[in-house]
Copies of this chain bind each other. A is one copy, B any other.
Amino acid sequence: MSGITYQRIQTEVLHRIRARVWRPGDLIPSEVALAAEFGCARATVNRALRELAETGILERRRKAGTRVSPDPVHKATFDIAVIRREIEALGGVYRHAILQKAHVLAPSFIQALMKLDIHAETLHIRTLHLSNDQPYLYEDRWINMAAVPGIRSADFSRVSVNEWLVQNAPLSGGEITFLAKNADEAEAEALDTTVGKALFVTERLTRIKQVSVTFVRLAYAPGYRMTTRL
């Protein structure tokens, strides 16, 4: 084997971009040309360039060729783990407490968000997740009962709703939103802080085949930071 790896090619390409040999907007040589230069198969060059294109560093189009992205759109990736794992990964002891659990007809704003009809039955659960017995996260969740039949018989004293859904309704699609919000009274009380304090909030809408399964709002305790490498 020639010893040329696709990773070797990737670092070489990155070097040339950094050294401004190939500048943002420039067209770079074709796969065939690069394969000849590096003395490897085209498939190897293809994989190298394809992966760089996935990160947004390169832009590729058939026939047009490969160019360095004019303004590279960095893609920041965040791991959205089960909350228990998130807490345990930070070295905390996980515990959760259910503050409220009620079967109710969906209020209108939830109907609109989840696109439910007027008579839709939902399970409304408010949970406090604790790390080392300190409030960590306040969860406000609405579940569309029609979409998850087995949920009536589930026992949430041991496994959190969060985990039950991951195990029993895997691989669902949806959207996630990050935002900042001043704490209201319920949030302030649960998270042991004051009304008005800025909270980092994530809202998630989960679907299985176009049908909304659950809407969650997670309000993190003050001071929370969500970090990732670029």
Bound-state Cα–Cα, A182 to B181, Å = 9
Contact of A200 among B72, B85, B178 (CB under 8 A): B178
Instruction: Check B230–A174 contact: CB distance below 8 A.
Output: yes
Of A77, A180, A201, A229, most B-chain CB atoms within 10 Å: A180
Residues in B with CB closer than 8 Å to A179 are 200, 224-226
Q: Does B74 lie within 8 Å of A24, measured CB to CB? A: no
A-side interface mostly = strand
Q: Please, how many angstroms separate the alpha-carbon atoms of A145 and B120 in the complex? A: 60
Identical chains in the assembly: 2
CB of A228 closer than 8 Å to a CB of B: yes
Kindly supply a per-residue 1/0 record for chain A positions 66-81, scoring 1 wherever the CB is within 8 Å of any chain B CB and 0 otherwise.
0010011111111111
Which of B72, B175, B177, B225 is close to A166, meaning CB atoms less than 8 Å apart?
B72
Contact-residue size bin, chain A (C-beta under 8 Å from the other chain) = 35 or more
CA distance A157 to B204 in the complex (A): 40
Within 8 A of B (CB), among A201-227: 201, 204, 206, 208, 220, 222, 224-227
A82 within 8 A of B: yes
Q: Does A137 contact B (CB under 8 A)?
A: no
Instruction: Give min CB distance, A33 to chain B, whole Å.
Output: 22
Sample of 22 A–B contacts (CB below 8 Å)? A17-B170, A24-B167, A57-B171, A71-B163, A71-B166, A72-B171, A73-B79, A73-B85, A76-B77, A78-B78, A174-B230, A176-B227, A177-B225, A179-B224, A179-B226, A180-B180, A180-B199, A180-B201, A180-B220, A181-B198, A182-B197, A182-B198
